[in-house]
Each structure stands twice: as C-alpha cells, then as structure tokens.
Chains A and B, each alone.
Chain A
C-alpha cells in the first residue's frame, strides 16, 4: 500500500479547509498505512491492472519508471479494481458521549476521530463510505471525506438525547457497518439493529469508547451523579461503596455487548480515551479487512 504520500499531500492541500478533527484523523490514518497488513489475502492493491499515462496531480512515487523509461511518456501503474465494499459508520451522537474525565477530550471527539480516520483509510483503499442516518448513500472518492465531516458536524449541531435511542435499521446489503458508541444506553435498540443487520448480511464492528473514569469510578463521598443531559440522576452518600457494584455492572454490559456482537457475526472491542487512538484504529481496520 502506498497511500501515505497521497494522504500527506492531500492533507497538506486540505489543511486550510478541513476542521481540526479531520486533520487529526488524517494524521492518525497516516500511521496505519503499512503494506503488510493487507497481505493476509490477495487483496486490493497487490494486483497489477494496467498502465495509464500520468496525469497532473499524480504523485511522483506512483510513476512506474521502468515502464516510463521505454517511451517519452510517464506511466502510472494502476492496480486491479476490485468491487468496493460499502461501509456505514454510526457515531453515537448522544450527550453521554460528551463526557470527559478531568483533562481528557470527550469520548465523542475520540469516536469521531476514529470514524474519520477509518474512513480515510477505507476511502484510500477505494471503499465506499457513508454515515448512517444520513440520506447520502455511501460513496467512494476523495470528496467523500469532506461530506463525512460535514455530516458529523451536522450531527453535532443537532439536539441530542442523553443516550442514543435510534440506531440505524436499514443497511446496504452485504455491506459493512461500524458502530462507535459508549453503549451505555438501552441495549434493546442495539439488539434490534444488530438483528436487522444480520438479516441484511451486514457484518461490522462494535467499538465501545469509554472514558477511564467510567472504567475506574474514582469517586468517593456524598455525591449526586447526573447524566450529561440531566435526565437521570442518582444520589449516593458514599460513592466509594458503589464502586464495586458499578464495575460489576460495567463488566456485565461489556460481556453482553460481546455476546450480541458474536451472535450477529460482528466483532466487539472497547477503547478508552485515556489510550492512544492508534491501536483502536489498527484493530478496526484489520477487523474490517478481516476474514469474514
């Protein structure tokens, strides 16, 4: 895979217009463009397809010098065109994703970052990428990334609930789906969505993004916990006492998610905002290319 120079060039060109999030996503994606990962199976990019004459905008690296040397023209080696997958992203727009412990960024930031970075990678690999809940169908091409950013920004602007209630129910058949959320809301919506996806032959990822505070519950004393939107509240006189039981519930939730994912043929992973985003991106990318 020789996506990186292309990416960097594009990132430089678009640096003025893209929101910082996209810049971060490109930056993140740039760390993952390693050829080796694609070699598990004869996949896109490995097979020679044709030479075509180089056009303006083609990076020098793509030019096949051996072929070009035989004539006066510069040629670019194009690879085999493969049937593109369409990948639908669903990034949880609920307010619960805005939670951030201490100095860390909110979970929603990380979720969007991962989604965009993954989209960049997929787009670069020629896949079609779309956002669930938006009228635009999944598309390939460089322009799609900007549309994704705009769509995410629109999600951000829209009024949101405390916890995500509506999960996508209609999928592109045989497509792929990526759900990024904290999955702290009701599970039945997710179950319904997953069963619908399974019925449509859609496989995908459940990426649970959590804040370390949510994992560790570092609270003590008399507290009133309020949900991000304020719709839920729980008062306790000794938060420390709740820790064990909270952690048990969280573990239970995670187990349930993994179980649901398995039943639908999906994969599940948890990610913390305290960690670097790269491993999660790697995992997701490989999972999407993975053997299913």
Chain B
C-alpha cells in the first residue's frame, strides 16, 4: 500500500501531456564547433534526413523523469500507518496460548502499536488474554494497557470454551482487534458473533509456520513422535531434539533427528532410534528453533523401560511352558519392559530395576545379603508365593527381611474338593492402596494362598485383600526400596489373577512395568497426582508453585483434551509413576482457524512505514542521467570523452550498493582477543550497563597494568549467543532484571567455558544477595544460572584464596559495601590443620563468583582514566574505590594463577621434608 503525504501535488502529473507537446517540437541543439576545414565542407549536403523532432523514447524518458519528481515531492509512503480514525473503545484480544509463544514479541509489538494508535485517537482500551478465566472487561485509558500487556505471557495451554467470554463483554459498541494464533478454538465462532454484534472485528494472524509436537510413543525400540504444522507452505525440514541429563546431570541434547515435510504434509513422523540407556534419560523432545510449549513433548515415564529380572530356579527348566510360574509375568511385562531371565547371581550384577522371585523360598546367605543390599539401594523385589514357599520352613523365614510379612506354615486352600468354603473373591481396594481405583473383576477367584501371620504391621502392609480380609498382596519398605509379596503364584495354578487384566494393571501400579504415560485411564484414575514440573507457554519447565495434587480423572481428561489452566501441562507423579501431560494431546490435529467472510484478517507484522521520497528522487536522477547519456548519443558526442565519463561516474555513484560489508569480522575479533589477556564482559543489551561494564573492566585493566605484571588489552564485550568465549579467561556478567535466558546452544557453550577453566563473575548489582527477599536481579540470576553447570556454592570463607591472591582483603566492596560473595563451596571435610593459617580449601578454582556489589561502577573510568561514577563520600569513598580495585586485582590474579597462593601453605611442610 502506498500513501502520499501531500497528494494534491499529484495534480502536477496533468502537466505531462503539455510537456509532451513542448518537448516534441524542440530538436536537440546542434553543437557549434570551430573547424578550419570548413572551407572543404561547404556545399556538402546531408545524405540521411534525420528527424528534427526528439525521438519518442527520449520524450517518454523525460516525462518519466518529471513524473518521478512530481510523485517524489508528493511524499509517497509505503505501508502508511495512518488509517481512518475511530472513536469507539477498542478491545484487544490475545489468544495467549502456547501457539502464541513463538512470535510473542511480534504479537506484543502489534498490541503496542494498537495501543499507541488508540492513545493517539483518545480511545479507551480493554486488553485480555483468552487463556485466562473469563472475567468482566473494563475499558480504561490506553496507557494503562501497556502495563497489562507487559505482564502477559503465553500460557502452556490453549484458550478453551471461548463462548463463555461472550457474557464477559462490556456493554455498548466497541471495536475489536483479535490477535489470533491461527488455531481454531472451541467457541470461537460464538465469541466472534457476539463481538461482531458490538462493532467491527479486525483479526490479526501471523503466517509464521507453527509446529507442534505430539506425545512420544515407542515401539520396537524406536521412539516415534508426530510433528504437526499449521500451514503447509511447501516442503520444510525441522529438527527434533531429544534432551535429557547426561551422566553428570547436565541437561544436553541427546539426539537429533531431521523431519521433512512434503509440500502438502501437515504432519510428519519423527523416528529416533535410541539405545536403551539414552532413551531412559530423555526427559523432553523439542522442535528446534520453536520456542513454545506446543513444540515440546515431555517424556515422563513413557519412554522409560524398566529392566526386570525374572529369577528362575535352576530345576524348573524343563517344565511345561504354561505351567511355568513366570509365563504370565513375561507376557504382562514383555511389551513394556526389558526382561532378563536367569539365576539370581547372574542378574544382580546387571542392576535391574525390578527383580521377580517366583516361588523362591531359600537362597544362599551371600545371595540374600546381596539382594537385600540391592533392595535397600532402591530396588523393587517382587515375590510370588508357590508350593515351595508354602512348604518351606516358616520359622526360618520369620525374620527374613526380604519377606514383607511373616507367613503361616502351609497355605490355605479354599473351594477345593477338600475344603469347606468357596473360592475367595477380591475385596475392593482400600483408599490407601496403590491399586485404589482399579476394578476387581467379580469372577476373579483365588483358590489357594499363603497366609500372613497377623500382627500389628499387617493392615498397613496389606495392599490388596480377599473378601474375607486375608491379605493378597503385601508390601514392606526396605531401605529406599521395597519388597512386595503376592500371596498367590505367578501362574494360574492358585488363582485367576494372572489371567486377568487386573494383574497387568497391578503391575503397572507397582511401577513394575511403568508405562504410565501410555497406560489407560483406569491406570491413572483414583490416584492423586502431584505436579513435578510445569510447562510454561515458552516450553520451559517451571516449578509448580501453588498447585495442589490432582485427581487422576482430571488428568485423564486433560490427557484427552489438552491441558488447561487448572491442569497445566507438565509432569505429574504418583509414587514412582510419572505421567507427562503435554500441550498437544495425542492424535489431536492442529486446526486452522476459519474466519467468516466479512472479518478483516490482516497480517501480524505490518511492514514498517517506508518513505519513498528518497528512492523516487534517486530514480528521477538516474533517469535524468540516462537522458543525458541518450542526448549525448543522439548528438553523436557519446564516446569515451570526458562528459559521458562524468555521467557514467555519476550513475555508478548512485547505483553503488551501500552495504558492502567485511565478513571476516569474527576472525578479526578472534585475533584481537588473543593478542594478550583480554577481560570480557557479557553484553546485556542494556547500553548503559554495557558501557559501565566496559569502563569498569578498563579501570581494572589500568590498575592491573599499574600495579601487577598483568597487562590486559582493552576489554571486549561478548554476546554469549554468538561470540566465541574460549579466548577470555574471565567474564564479567552484570545481571539485569530483564536479562534474556540464554539459548540451549549458549548454555552448552557457557558450560564448556566453565569446565575448561573460564570464570564468570555474576554481579546482580543490588547489594542484596541474602537480604530481604529475592530482588528482580536475583531472580534473573537464578533463572540464568539454572542451566549452568555450577557446583554447590557457599559464602566466601575467610580463608579463601581470593582474600590473599594479591592483596590481603577482608571485604569486597564495589559501589556497595554490604553484599557478600559466593564461591564454590569448600569440601565438607576441609579442616584446619595445626600451624597452618588457613585450610586447604579448594584444589580447583571456583568457576563462578557471585555477588551484588556492582563492581563495574566502582571500577569504571573514563577515557582519561578518571573515575566515571561516584562511590561513597569523600575520603571514605576513595578508600572504597581503592578496595574495589584491590578486589578486582585479587580476582584477576585468582583467575590467572588459580590456587597458587593456596599452595604456599605447603611450603613449610615441603621444606621440612627436604630437610630430612
């Protein structure tokens, strides 16, 4: 769209035909030239009769010049922002779901521009996010909306039941600007209709590709995910990343796979073939480059395949398959676990998650001890009764820690030919039982069982009982692990239990075959699930503060329909089972929002207003020069003479590209950074903070040059996202409250930097590390440091080497004095030895130093070396600045020499040893 600043000037275009007539009549002027040989020319006639009139194309060219000039002065503007003025209040609606997260800044910018425009027009504005619960909307001054807008953040769920918002709409006429995420939501049409009844509705949609990642499922050792996209704009390739902790516990990319969309595809499968070890570590999948909860899938336990060891008695090998006590267990577990079979001595070293002992009564004491140690470390021992157990010497078993209850001698058979009673059925599961909520099939009969010796612990240990109250499943905690005993056999000999679906569900509940993620609704229902992590709209994990436990039914519903405000996406846990609730439910396609005819749908990013006057004038100038060339050519003076050269030069100057850039800036930078010691600071994006950091490091560098053997080069600013860090021994990182969280790649780089000997001084600049409540900077620091590989920290001990690496220091003032300093915690066993002035604390150098004294401000100097910012008052202030410099020198000394000063403590001992 092109608008004009002064359109009336365009009337001048009417003069063009006049120009045509005028120009047509005038031939190009002849050149007068003095020539002695003219005497010889006299009487010569021109052969070719050339037209006296200007050629038509030259005329057109000249008229184009004039037209361009007229248009240029009329002030053409591309994408003019000024639209018609409106007086009605404006309602700005933001969907606010995860689908907004990817281009949230653009959406906010759009909303800001709408707010600004409304403020200009003096319109009242209401602003709302549809992911919130419906609430009454009040129109306020547009300026108020800025704060509300800044507080908005995309949520990890989608707007639901929009029709409810219809009742919340304010009375009277108003205009609506709906910044839509492009997805269809329930009740959208109803809300739109009620909005349209109040006034015009403008819809803003972004055409960015929206990717969503469905839940992961695994089959045959392969993890399969479905990547969906909203717009099928031709072929596309995205990368799906599997992330999880590495063996040291640091989150990193475990695997990547490319997913290619065909031109018409809306969904494409991503298949990852991961080794079991790696697969069990995966905590989340994400579409690379898509920062939204929808592009993240939490794995929960759905990928974890437990290692289950079935211990068989050696004698049992030749028994019939269906009589094998392990057959049904194997059937129940094969699909979801890795099953090992072997003798106890064979399976224990493989460290399985679960060991199943089917009808094993006695085992060698050494094996029993090893098994007990394994259970105490967190193993789950699952035992089944059987003839051997029932027949064994119960007195010997009485004190067995690997038996949850004491058993009576012999078993109980009911309903057989030799007994009075009928076979027993299962009683309903108690509230406290992990099986609560599972339905016991009424036809399930238990014919034989081993009986527990009643004692005080029995009711608490009983997980399932028969209708006569005798326990069927008992459990005992042992160390960090547990021992579970099924009082029946694992085959169908004593009961129907192994034949029923209940058996499988019970195993699931016991986390023997932990596939809670893919387990059916009945596996979740009836339990209370506590959120472990919550997925926010950006796709980052957050701590579930203020979220109570959740009924399993609600979780089941959310798994079906997608998360909501009450059931946010995240990982929910109950007793060892973890269920991931993802933003995009399984098998739910992304549906594009359809807007009825009559609703103006506009792009989200309005192209910037571009004044075209300059370019059009330049065009006129170029045309004019072309005209000059053409005229020269017509009058035969176009050679390589001076005049045409000048025209060509002018033309070349005009069309010369403006943005010729040197592309080896990175190399130059690397060379500059490696010429010597360079102190570096992390650029925060806040120019004032960055300038202070640079000036501060310059101040420290100056002092280092004056006082020490270190002669640093001028400090450099680094961008942790793009710049290489390895050149710098030291990074000063001032934390601003709105500091951006580094990307995963940047975290990898930073962790690598810290591991390879770099040091970062975090400065929250608030002098309030341990004071009253966290400051915004402190929160930002926590947020940033979360992804860093930082050892446990402790306040700087008095005998830390940092206090004596160059100067002897007791305080570390910057612009503030009070704030403490945090460094890597000393080893717990560090003790003071006699005769030593200080402990031998850390053998390594702390990778981070954290404080809040705003050192850069105290260090900062201007170009002439004078202090830039005031510190303290009078002489005390000068002294404070001096101590700040001393801290800086100590710190850089510490960075460059490590624990060298600490080693001095060994000197007496070494001398003594040498003397001997």
Binding site for B on A (CB under 8 A): 96-99, 107, 163, 182, 184-185, 211, 213-214, 217, 219-228, 232-242, 245-246, 249-250, 253
- By beta carbon, the residue of chain B nearest A217 is B37
Partner-A contacts on B (CB < 8 A): 27-42, 44, 46-50, 634-637
Query: Contacts of A253 on B, CB cut-off 8 Å?
Result: 40
- Give the contacting residue for B33; candidates A107, A211, A226, A240; CB below 8 A: A226
* A66 vs B314: C-alpha distance when bound (angstroms): 145
Cβ distance B50 to chain A, nearest Cβ, rounded Å:
5
The one of A96, A217, A223 that contacts B31, using a Cβ cutoff of 8 Å: A223
- Contacts A221-B635, A221-B637, A239-B636; is A228 near B34 (CB within 8 Å)? yes
A69 to B48 alpha-carbon distance, docked (Å): 82
Q: Is the Cβ of B37 less than 8 Å from the Cβ of A232? A: no
Chain B residues with CB under 8 A of A238: 46-48, 50, 636
Q: Are B31 and A222 neighbours in the complex by a CB distance under 8 Å?
A: yes
Contact B40 A222 (CB under 8 A): no
Contact B44 A234 (CB under 8 A): yes
Interface centre among B33, B41, B637 (most CB of A within 10 A): B41
Give bound CA distance, A223 to B50, whole Å.
Answer: 13
Q: Which residues of B contact A219 (CB under 8 A)?
A: 33, 35, 636
Q: How far is the CA of A226 from the CA of B49 in the complex (A)?
A: 21
B44, A184: Cβ atoms closer than 8 Å = no
Q: Which residue of B lies closest to A234 (CB)?
A: B41
Asked if B36 contacts A214 (CB within 8 A), the reply is yes
Are A232 and B38 neighbours in the complex by a CB distance under 8 Å?
yes
Name, among B40, B44, B635, the residue most crowded by chain A CB atoms within 10 Å (CB to CB): B40
Say whether B38 contacts A226, CB under 8 Å: yes
Bound-state Cα–Cα, A211 to B36, Å: 9
Say how far A35's CB is from chain B's closest CB, in angstroms: 39
Pair B31/A221 contact, Cβ less than 8 Å: yes
- Whether B636 and A227, one on each chain, are in contact in the complex, defined by CB atoms closer than 8 angstroms, is no
The residue that B44 contacts in the complex, of A211, A233, A236, with Cβ under 8 A, is A236
A199, chain B: closest CB distance, angstroms: 28
B residues less than 8 Å from A228 (CB atoms): 34, 36
CB atoms of B35 and A225 under 8 A apart: yes
Q: Which residues of A contact B34 (CB under 8 A)?
A: 99, 225-228
Q: Within the assembled complex, what's the spacing in Å between the Cα atoms of A248 and B41?
A: 11
Q: Is the CB of A184 within 8 A of B47?
A: no
4 cross-chain pairs, A with B, having the tightest CB-CB distances, nearest first: A221-B636, A220-B636, A99-B36, A96-B36
CB distance from A68 to the nearest CB of B (A): 56
Docked Cα-Cα span, A228 to B38, in Å, equals 9
In the complex, chain B residues whose CB is within 8 Å of the CB of A214: 35-37
In Å, the complex CA distance between A245 and B39 comes to: 13
Closest to A98 in B: B36
Which residue of B36, B38, B47, B637 contacts A233 across the interface (Cβ within 8 Å)?
A: B38
Chain A residue numbers with a CB within 8 Å of B27 are 222
A222-B28, A223-B31, A232-B42 as given contacts; A237 in contact with B37, CB under 8 Å: no
Q: B30 to A223, Cβ gap below 8 A?
A: yes
Asked whether B36 lies within 8 Å of A182 as measured between CB atoms, the reply is yes
Tell me which residues across on chain A come within 8 A of B38, comparing CB atoms.
225-227, 232-234
User: A222, B39: Cβ atoms under 8 Å?
Assistant: no
CB neighbours of A245 from chain B (8 A): 44
Chain A residue contacts of B33, Cβ below 8 A: 219, 223-226
Q: Is the CB of A107 within 8 A of B636?
A: no
- In the complex, the answer to whether A184 meets B30 with C-beta atoms within 8 Å is no
CA distance A237 to B634 in the complex (A): 10
Which residues from chain A contact B40 at a C-beta distance below 8 Å? 184, 246, 249-250, 253
What is the CA–CA distance of A222 and B53 in the complex, to the nearest angstrom? 13
Residues in A neighbouring B32, C-beta threshold 8 A: 223-224, 226
Chain A, Cβ-Cβ closest to B641: A102
Min CB–CB distance A81 → chain B (angstroms): 44
Judging by beta carbons under 8 Å apart, are A184 and B637 in contact? Answer: no
Q: Cα distance A232–B44 when bound, in Å?
A: 13
Given A184-B36, A217-B37, A234-B42, CB of A241 within 8 Å of CB of B48? yes
Please, how many angstroms separate the alpha-carbon atoms of A163 and B39 in the complex? Answer: 9
Q: How long is the Cα–Cα vector from A53 to B44 in the complex, in angstroms?
A: 68
Asked whether, in the complex, the Cβ of B636 is within 8 Å of the Cβ of A246, the reply is no
Partner of B46, one of A107, A184, A241, A246: A241
